[in-house]
Amino acid sequence: MSRLIEFNPEDEVVRELLAPFSRVQPVRLRADSTGRRRSPRVRSALVIAAAVAVLAGAGVATAAGFGVFNGLSATQHPQAPTDVLPSQTAGQVQQEGCGAFHESTNGTAAPYACDPGSSRLVSTLPSGDKLYVLADSNNDLCVYLQNHGSWCGNSLSKAQPAMGVSENDSGDFFAYGVAMDGVVSVSFAIEGQDVTVPVRHNVWAYETQSAAWHFSCLTARFADGSTAAVGPCGGSNSFPGPPGAGG
C-alpha cells in the first residue's frame, strides 16, 4: 500500500517584520524657493535603509545559507527558535558534517564543515520527524530529517529544481526530498513503476511496501506544465550532487 505524505508548514516571520512598511503612503513633494521639486531620493533611501535595518536586526542580512536556499521560499526568513536544531543533532552535524565529502590532503574522504547556525525548519512529517535544510562550507544544500540522517546536493536551480534520497527498512521503501518554488510534483520510477508525488511547501515524500532501495528518472513538473529531468535513468543514483552526497 502506497502513501503520499502531507506536511504542516511552519509560519514565516519576514512578512511580520515588513508589515509596518506596507502602510507607507506616497508623499506629495513641495517645490523649493527655486520652483523645483525636491528629489525623493533621500526619503526613498531612508525607507529602504529602515527596511534593511529591520531585516538585518532580525538576522536576514547575515543569515548563513540564504544563497544556498535560493528557490526555497519556506526557508526565506530569519532563523527562528523553531529553526534551531536540537542540541544533540547540532553537535553531531558540526562534528561529522552533513553528508557531502571531499578528498583531504592525505587522499581520504573528509566531510565539508556543516553550519548548524544556518538551519531552517521546512516541514514536519506526520510521523513527527522534522525536516531541516542547512548549508555547508562548500555551499551545498544539505537536508536533515530527524531519525533518518542528513545528505547534501547542489543548490536548486532551473536546471536542477528538485532532489531527494531513498531508503528501505525491512521492506518499507521511503523516499523524500525538496523542490524549488513553482514545482508542483515530482515523478520517478521504482522497479519499473512510475510514481508521481505532489510537492507541498517545497517538500515531497512517498512511502510504499517494496524491496527497492533506490529510485531513478527523477523529474520535476512545474505549474505551467513544463518538466525538468533531474536524476539519471537506468541507474541507482537518487539525485545529482557532490561526491559522497546522499545515496
Q: Which residue has the cell 547542489?
A: 154
Cα 186 from Cα 51, distance rounded (Å): 37
What integer pLDDT is reported at residue 225 of this predicted model? 96
CB atoms within 10 A of CB 217: 16
Strand ranges (E), 137-233: 141-145, 149-153, 162-169, 172-179, 183-190, 193-198, 203-209, 216-222, 227-229
User: CB-based burial of residue 126 (10 Å sphere; 0-12 exposed, 13-18 middle, 19+ buried)?
Assistant: exposed
Determine the 3-state secondary structure of 88 from DSSP: helix
Summarize pLDDT for 90-141 with one digit per residue, the tens: 988 888 888 887 777 777 788 889 999 999 999 988 889 999 999 999 889 9
| Nearest partner of 165 among 173, 69, 134, judged by Cα | 173
The DSSP code for 192 is T
Q: 186 near 147, Cβ under 8 Å?
A: no
78 CB-near residues (< 8 Å, 6+ apart): 13, 14, 17, 55, 58, 59, 60, 63
What integer pLDDT is reported at residue 39 of this predicted model? 36
Cα 9 from Cα 32, distance rounded (Å): 52
Whole-prediction pTM: 0.69
Q: Is pLDDT of 171 > 80? A: yes
Q: Residue 8 belongs to what H/E stretch?
A: strand 8-9
What integer pLDDT is reported at residue 108 of this predicted model? 78
Q: Is pLDDT of 46 > 80? A: no
Q: Is pLDDT of 188 > 90? A: yes
Mean pLDDT taken over the chain = 75
Residue type for 103, please?
A: E
Cα 59 from Cα 51, distance rounded (Å): 13
Letter string b/e over residues 137-151, b meaning 16 or more CB atoms within 10 A of that residue's CB: ebebbbbbbbebbbb
Q: How far is CA 173 from the centre of its chain?
A: 23
Edge-to-edge strand ranges of the sheet holding 172-179: 3-4, 203-209, 172-179, 162-169
